[in-house]
């Protein structure tokens, strides 16, 4: 018969059939994912050098230089393990061949904090509507060629800027012009050389929300889908191949993530090809789509009848499974989680990602009255964002057979391989184990650990407010 342990209150140190570990046995050093394993549901998951499954979760940091050490410390204290750090070519190389030492120092300082608090950091090469030539951030003005075509911003919808003739021309030149290709690759190699010494560095999200020429009426979904497919199979694929080669000139360790176009949020599957990794050993290339509902982004409260989560989940699954790539959702979250529909959207997104993602970073970490801020003014989870802070397992000592998340409840069935399964919970959470005896270590409040005997299948349930 399976053994069922009694419920455990994590505010007290309890042992289950084994001795309580000493303080010296507790090792909270964050493992770097050196490879992958395949879960029973087909997901490709990150794995550390000891074979344990790593499930990084966290937040995007503010891209306009407002992040403090206290922010990074707080992310870690809440049990998260991953930061996505946005940087822009325009800020780091404002003139061709001139690298801004102050901006590089800011970036190194953030990664120093990640090192200190044992987090992983994903450096996101960010752009919005190409760059500062069009009132945004991303590609430098000196690398912008608009052919003298018009650009008329739309204050009501910044995304419409992508369809302006000048922006379309700028993207075409970035993809096609040999000198701009060389400049971009040289920048990536230079940046990687600057950052490669950080133990926290997970890797690089190679190009945020790629876009490109749209030949035809952009209001026609069929036209957009056809242009996105052409971009992903041609110009964008070639860019990613160049950037992978540029990074690998200086860094053989990091993970490199490719993004599809934003049309994946409308249920359009990516047409990207697979990518070879020139590093020795196994490939370290992942897939980093975003998980946004267009209507919600435009200010609507989410309508659960719109089918968004189901359509997105269907569209997202095939590509990473076909190429055995870990999927890390780089951005997700509504601009206002405080409305009823959007609060439900957050809950469903957290639950859905259990079925297709190896990890995620929410947009984004800040405290405020509204907007995308995950925290309220008092520093507690914003109304509607509670599920984001629910319990989970950053490290699993075994292969997951099934996982599920809800607002305050996490459950995983795993085939144990030995070693510690690490949990992230609120104090006083309730843990039960079905199917095996378990050893519990509560020496680090909010970060309990369980050890299961290798070879057993057990179900671990954590209820945060039960």
DSSP letter string over 26-75? ---PPPP--EEEE-TTS-EEEE-TTS-EE--EEEEPPTTS---HHHHHHH
Return phi, psi of residue 166, to 5°.
-65, -40
Residue 339 sits in the same domain as residue 196: yes
Q: List C-alpha distances in Å: 138 to 208, 245, 311, 428.
A: 9, 21, 30, 44
Residues 398-410 have a mean pLDDT of 88
Residue 13 sits in the same domain as residue 160: no
Q: What share of the chain in percent tops pLDDT 90?
A: 80
pLDDT number for residue 30: 64
pLDDT number for residue 44: 97
Comparison of pLDDT for 369 and 343, the residue scoring more: 343
Q: How far apart are CA 87 and CA 187, in angstroms?
A: 12
Give the model's confidence band at 430: pLDDT under 50 very low, under 70 low, under 90 confident, else very high: confident
pLDDT number for residue 408: 84
pLDDT number for residue 31: 86
CATH code for position 295: 3.20.20.80
Residue 256 sits in the same domain as residue 119: yes
C-beta pairs of 27-33 under 8 Å, 24+ apart in sequence? 28/118, 28/444, 28/447, 29/118, 30/81, 30/118, 30/119, 30/120, 30/200, 31/395, 32/120, 32/199, 32/202, 32/253, 33/202, 33/255, 33/326
pLDDT for 370 beyond 90: no
Q: How far apart are CA 183 and CA 172, in angstroms?
A: 15
What are the residues facing 329 on neighbouring strands? 360
- DSSP secondary structure of 131-151: SGGGTSBSS-GGG---TT---
Give the model's confidence band at 11: pLDDT under 50 very low, under 70 low, under 90 confident, else very high: very low
Residues 100-118 have a mean pLDDT of 95
Q: Which domain holds residue 431?
A: 1-30+390-466
pLDDT number for residue 97: 96
Look at the chain and report how many structural domains it folds into. Answer: 2
pLDDT number for residue 62: 78
pLDDT number for residue 466: 52
Residue 353 sits in the same domain as residue 212: yes
Give the model's confidence band at 64: pLDDT under 50 very low, under 70 low, under 90 confident, else very high: low
Residue 136 sits in the same domain as residue 9: no
Residue 240 sits in the same domain as residue 326: yes
Least confident range of 27-31, 288-292, 383-387: 27-31
Residues 374-378 have a mean pLDDT of 93
Residue 455 sits in the same domain as residue 335: no
330 close to 289: Cβ distance less than 8 angstroms: yes
Residue 374 sits in the same domain as residue 404: no
What are the residues facing 182 on neighbouring strands? none
Residue 64 sits in the same domain as residue 132: yes
110 close to 72: Cβ distance less than 8 angstroms: yes
Residues 6+ apart with CB under 8 A from 319: 260, 269, 270, 272, 287, 325
**Burial readout 229-243 (b: 16 or more C-beta within 10 A, e: otherwise):** bbbbeebbbebbebb
Least confident range of 23-27, 266-270, 285-289, 366-370: 23-27
Residue 147 sits in the same domain as residue 22: no
In a domain, 139, yes or no: yes
In a domain, 64, yes or no: yes
Least confident range of 19-23, 47-51, 254-258, 275-279: 19-23
Average pLDDT score, the chain = 90
CATH code for position 414: 2.60.40
Residue 92 sits in the same domain as residue 214: yes
């Amino acid at each position: 018969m399976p053994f069922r342990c009694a419920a455990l209150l994590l505010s007290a140190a309890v042992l289950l059939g084994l001795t309580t570990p000493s303080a010296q046995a507790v090792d909270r050093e964050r493992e770097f994912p050196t490879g992958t394993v395949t879960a029973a549901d087909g997901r490709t998951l990150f794995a550390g050098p000891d074979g344990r499954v790593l499930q990084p979760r966290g937040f995007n940091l503010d891209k306009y230089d407002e992040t403090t050490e206290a922010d990074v410390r707080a992310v870690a204290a809440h049990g998260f393990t991953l930061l996505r750090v946005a940087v822009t070519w325009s800020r780091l190389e404002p003139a061709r061949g001139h690298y801004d030492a102050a901006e590089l120092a800011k970036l190194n300082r953030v990664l120093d904090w990640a090192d200190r608090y044992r987090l992983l950091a994903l450096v996101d090469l960010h752009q919005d509507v190409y760059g500062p030539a069009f009132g945004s951030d991303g590609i430098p003005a000196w690398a912008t060629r608009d052919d003298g075509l018009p650009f008329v911003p739309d204050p009501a919808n910044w995304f419409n800027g992508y369809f302006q003739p000048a922006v379309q021309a700028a993207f075409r030149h970035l993809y096609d012009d040999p000198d701009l290709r060389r400049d971009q690759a040289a920048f990536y190699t230079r940046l990687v050389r600057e950052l490669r010494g950080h133990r926290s560095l997970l890797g690089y999200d190679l190009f945020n929300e790629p876009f490109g020429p749209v030949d035809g009426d952009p209001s026609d979904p069929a036209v957009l889908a056809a242009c996105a497919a052409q971009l992903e199979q041609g110009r964008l694929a070639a860019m990613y191949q160049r950037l992978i080669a540029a990074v690998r000139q200086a860094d053989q360790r990091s993970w490199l993530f490719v993004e599809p176009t934003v049309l994946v949020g409308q249920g359009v599957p990516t047409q990207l090809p697979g990518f070879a990794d020139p590093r020795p050993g196994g490939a370290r290339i992942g897939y980093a789509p975003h998980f946004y509902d267009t209507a919600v982004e435009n200010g609507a409260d989410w309508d659960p009848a719109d089918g968004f989560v189901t359509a997105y989940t269907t569209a997202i699954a095939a590509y990473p499974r076909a190429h055995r790539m870990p999927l890390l959702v780089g951005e997700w979250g509504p601009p206002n989680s405080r409305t009823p529909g959007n609060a439900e959207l957050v809950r469903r997104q957290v639950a859905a990602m259990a079925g297709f993602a190896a990890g995620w970073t929410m947009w984004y970490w800040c405290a405020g009255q509204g907007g995308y801020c995950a925290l309220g003014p008092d520093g507690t989870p914003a109304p509607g964002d509670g599920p984001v802070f629910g319990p989970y397992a950053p490290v699993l000592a075994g292969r997951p057979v099934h996982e599920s998340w809800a607002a305050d409840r996490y459950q995983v069935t795993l085939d144990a391989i030995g070693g510690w399964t690490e949990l992230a919970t609120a104090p006083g959470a309730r843990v039960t184990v079905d199917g095996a005896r378990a050893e519990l270590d509560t020496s680090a409040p909010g970060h309990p650990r369980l050890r299961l005997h290798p070879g057993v299948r057990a179900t671990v349930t954590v209820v945060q407010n039960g």
